[in-house]
Chain A
Amino acid sequence: MFFPRNEATNAGDPPPSIKAHLFKKLAWSMAAIWLITAMLILIFAPVEYQESLDRRAVRTAQMVLAFASVMPDRVVQQPTLDDVLSDKLELEEFLIVIRRDGHPIYSSLAGGLRLDITLPLDGTARIGSETYDLFGLEDRATRTEVIVGVSKAEAFFASVEIAGLAIGLLTIAMFFVLSAVRMGIRSGLEPLDSFAKNVEQRDGRDLTPLGTEATPIEMKPIAMALNGFMGRLKQVMDQEREFISNAAHELRTPLTAIRAQVEQIDPDPEHPTESQAIGNVMIAIDRADRLVHQLLDLSRSQSANLGHMPETRFDLAVHLQELMADLVPIAEKRQVELSLDAPDNLFTRCQQDLLRVILRNLLENAIKYSSEQGLVAVSVRQADNGRLKIDVHDNGPGLTPEEFERAGDRFQRLGRTDRQGAGLGLAIVFELCEKLGFTLTRISKPTLGGLSLELDIPGPH
């Protein structure tokens, strides 16, 4: 994986979260709004309530006066007043006193008429433990007076009750809004999560740009910056690969010169160490040559852009014949016998060049690791599903399953270490197999006693 997951640097310090930040900010501002609104309710609700109560008291006084001024009796019975007016007014909440000619003829106070109390027409009055605001009206023609009193304590408690109810409802509403906000933030940031998942699931070598069509506008800059970065990274990696490829190419000329010049040396038969030394130099040159070749294979397998390489349909037997014919000189040097068992007219469809690189490396390995006077046998068959199986057997020391698993690591030499080589062969093969969708498996019961590998490649369709 190219990009390590962004973990918090300090274990006790949780990583910053946009969600938590947004939620916290919104929660704080909502708490502030709640507080201000609650305070306004507390201040204005009693005032408003008082005013509306006062207005109702005045209206009540008007109605009662209209009623009382046409009443002939000196004393008004409470039930009579209630009967007449209770469907129009709520009388219980007020203190009502009716006077005619200065004498009280009606009082709503408990205990009947308290005629000893003289009340002013307006202002406040204290009766018992209660204080009342008074609203009085007078009808001069009948000399009737009506005084409506509003209990201060009752008004206060009623207004507190109203304010409390309002604040309570406000609080419940706030909680609903908060959870809506929370859900909104979560779903609003969902594209961020899926974007991260998308990047996370990428193969480490996949540096193709991210698709930005479905990306929300807010995240486009991130996606584009990431694409830009990957583009630069790809450029750097391409340059690196190009460098390896060029360096390997350039190494060939001096290698050729060394080989050509060493071959000019005519060793003195009197000094056998001379010809031995020359032989060793040639072995070293062969080794360098193979390494150069494999570096080229490796840089090629990494840069292989499968979309740009045409697949061709070709006869696998012919392909193997040509490849193995090229390898005969190397095999003869090690006295290794090559053999091929491939039926004619068995076609495959794949990138021929890359298959050649895979097979050449497999065969070079087999030749290198087979015993002296060894055998390397290649056989080809078609499986029931139409795919082709190429088996490569040698009679060398073989590889354990664990060694085979580790063979994909570059510069990892396995099995016998007395053979020359950088251990790139199987790494190249694994890399290419993965790209091309081929599979390479180790056959657990080898035919020739050494390593037996099976390469699975597409059939003709």
Chain B
Amino acid sequence: MRILLVEDDPLIGDAIRGSFSRAGDTVDWITDGADASELPEIDGFDMMILDLGLPGKDGMDILQEIRGRGHFLPILILTARYEMDNRVRGLDLGADDYLVKPFAMEELMARCRALARRRETKQSHRLTYRDLVIDPAALTVSKSDRDIPLTPKVFGLLRLLLENQGRVLTRRTLEDHLYGWDGEAESNTLEVFISQIRRKLGADLIQTIRGVGYVLPKE
């Protein structure tokens, strides 16, 4: 994975670059916000990690410019800003995810992987998780090389959990995904779908946080 890192703090930047390098990724690191939006080959990166508190140019402006020029690479923003509205604004301006400082490196790497996976599934790559192989284009799942039939809704649910592995997805998020904004979900339909996945793919696959949501543990 080739990552563009925009971070002015040398110690944080160094640690991020070190961690990703050891995991086999390439990190191009720039420290000045003004340079970031002028990079010509920005589409050559698989994703971007953008610190919002930069000297020279505000991270929000960079974000807006990049999206304004039609670049669609996944962007994760790092912010020390506490206020919620900044986070929300960041997402409105086209960031795909955010982390508030101080974050755990593990968390950052997991989020980046999730963003990359999401991009891969959009580009019809196969996803693997333990002994599962998921083909988003063909809408098929196989477990230990055996095809498992799933309905489209259940498949979509599994894909969403897989793209966000390690992260708790709330009941409302999953329900919205299943039914869209207008659909009225029966109160136990989500449980029905989750238990279908468990029955077909393994009881311990999905972890329940009672009343809150579900999570697929990190591989």
Q: Which residues on A are within 8 Å of B, measured CB to CB? A: 245, 248-250, 252-261, 263-264, 285, 289, 293, 296, 300, 315, 317-318, 320-322, 324-326, 328-329, 337-342, 344, 353, 356, 378
Task: From B62-70, B149-157, B167-175, B192-200, give the one contacting chain A.
Answer: B167-175
**Chain B interface, number of residues (Cβ within 8 angstroms):** 33
Report yes or no: A259 in contact with B105, Cβ–Cβ below 8 A: yes
Query: Quick one: CB contact mask for B164-192 with A, threshold 8 Å, 1 for yes?
Result: 00011111100000000000000100000
Report yes or no: B210 in contact with A328, Cβ–Cβ below 8 A: no
A371 CB to closest chain B CB (Å) equals 18
Report yes or no: B9 in contact with A249, Cβ–Cβ below 8 A: no
Task: Tell which of A289, A293, A296, A321 touches B212, judged by Cβ atoms closer than 8 Å.
Answer: A321
Q: For the complex, give the distance between the alpha carbons of A99 and B170 in Å.
A: 138
Report yes or no: B15 in contact with A255, Cβ–Cβ below 8 A: no
Report yes or no: A324 in contact with B209, Cβ–Cβ below 8 A: yes
Report yes or no: B80 in contact with A249, Cβ–Cβ below 8 A: yes
Report yes or no: B172 in contact with A260, Cβ–Cβ below 8 A: no
Task: From B38-46, B96-104, B120-128, B137-145, give the one contacting chain A.
Answer: B96-104
Report yes or no: B101 in contact with A252, Cβ–Cβ below 8 A: yes
Report yes or no: B84 in contact with A249, Cβ–Cβ below 8 A: no
Q: For the complex, give the distance between the alpha carbons of A264 and B108 in Å.
A: 14
Report yes or no: B170 in contact with A321, Cβ–Cβ below 8 A: yes
Report yes or no: B170 in contact with A252, Cβ–Cβ below 8 A: no
Report yes or no: B102 in contact with A289, Cβ–Cβ below 8 A: yes
Contact status of A318 and B9, CB under 8 A, knowing A259-B102, A339-B211:
no
Contacts of A245 in B (CB 8 A): 82
Q: Does B213 contact A (CB under 8 A)?
A: yes
Task: Tell which of B101, B106, B213, B215 touches A321, judged by Cβ atoms closer than 8 Å.
Answer: B213
A73 CB to closest chain B CB (Å) equals 127
Q: For the complex, give the distance between the alpha carbons of A378 and B212 in Å.
A: 10
Q: For the complex, give the distance between the alpha carbons of A353 and B85 in Å.
A: 9
Q: For the complex, give the distance between the alpha carbons of A321 and B102 in Å.
A: 23
Contacts of B81 in A (CB 8 A): 249
Report yes or no: B213 in contact with A325, Cβ–Cβ below 8 A: yes
- Extra contacts besides A255-B101, A261-B14, A300-B82 (10): CB < 8 Å: A245-B82, A259-B103, A263-B19, A264-B15, A315-B172, A325-B170, A325-B213, A341-B211, A356-B84, A378-B211
Identify the closest chain B residue to A328 (Cβ): B168
Q: Does B148 contact A (CB under 8 A)?
A: no
Q: Give the 5 A-B CB pairs with smallest separation, nearest first.
A: A340-B211, A260-B15, A257-B11, A325-B168, A339-B210
Contact status of A325 and B15, CB under 8 A, knowing A249-B80, A249-B82, A296-B82:
no
Question: What are 8 contact pairs spanning A and B, CB under 8 A?
Answer: A254-B11, A260-B11, A261-B15, A321-B171, A328-B215, A338-B212, A353-B84, A356-B84
Q: Does B94 contact A (CB under 8 A)?
A: no
Q: For the complex, give the distance between the alpha carbons of A296 and B80 in Å.
A: 11
Q: Does B12 contact A (CB under 8 A)?
A: yes
Q: For the complex, give the distance between the alpha carbons of A300 and B18 in Å.
A: 36
Contacts of B170 in A (CB 8 A): 318, 321-322, 325
Report yes or no: A253 in contact with B18, Cβ–Cβ below 8 A: no
Contacts of B213 in A (CB 8 A): 321, 325
Contacts of A248 in B (CB 8 A): 82
Q: Does B136 contact A (CB under 8 A)?
A: no
Report yes or no: B211 in contact with A263, Cβ–Cβ below 8 A: no
Contacts of B84 in A (CB 8 A): 353, 356
A248 CB to closest chain B CB (Å) equals 8
Query: Quick one: CB contact mask for B1-44 with A, threshold 8 Å, 1 for yes?
Result: 00000000101101110110000000000000000000000000
Contacts of B171 in A (CB 8 A): 321
Contacts of B14 in A (CB 8 A): 260-261
Q: For the complex, give the distance between the alpha carbons of A258 and B12 in Å.
A: 8
Q: For the complex, give the distance between the alpha carbons of A346 and B18 in Å.
A: 47
Task: Tell which of A255, A322, A325, A356 touches B102, judged by Cβ atoms closer than 8 Å.
Answer: A255
Report yes or no: B104 in contact with A263, Cβ–Cβ below 8 A: yes
Identify the closest chain B residue to A324 (Cβ): B212
A71 CB to closest chain B CB (Å) equals 123
Identify the closest chain A residue to B210 (Cβ): A339
Q: For the complex, give the distance between the alpha carbons of A338 and B212 in Å.
A: 8
Identify the closest chain A residue to B185 (Cβ): A344
Report yes or no: B103 in contact with A256, Cβ–Cβ below 8 A: yes
Report yes or no: A325 in contact with B169, Cβ–Cβ below 8 A: yes
Contacts of B107 in A (CB 8 A): 329
Q: For the complex, give the distance between the alpha carbons of A324 and B172 in Å.
A: 13
A204 CB to closest chain B CB (Å) equals 26
Task: Tell which of A256, A320, A356 touches B9, judged by Cβ atoms closer than 8 Å.
Answer: A256
Report yes or no: A256 in contact with B209, Cβ–Cβ below 8 A: no
Report yes or no: B18 in contact with A264, Cβ–Cβ below 8 A: yes
Q: For the complex, give the distance between the alpha carbons of A364 and B121 in Å.
A: 36
Contacts of B101 in A (CB 8 A): 252-253, 255-256
Identify the closest chain A residue to B166 (Cβ): A329
A201 CB to closest chain B CB (Å) equals 34
Q: For the complex, give the distance between the alpha carbons of A325 and B105 in Å.
A: 19
B131 CB to closest chain A CB (Å) equals 24
A346 CB to closest chain B CB (Å) equals 13
Report yes or no: A328 in contact with B15, Cβ–Cβ below 8 A: no
Contacts of B104 in A (CB 8 A): 259, 263
Contact status of A325 and B209, CB under 8 A, knowing A253-B12, A261-B11, A264-B19:
yes
Query: Quick one: CB contact mask for B53-91 with A, threshold 8 Å, 1 for yes?
Result: 100000000000000000000000000111010000000
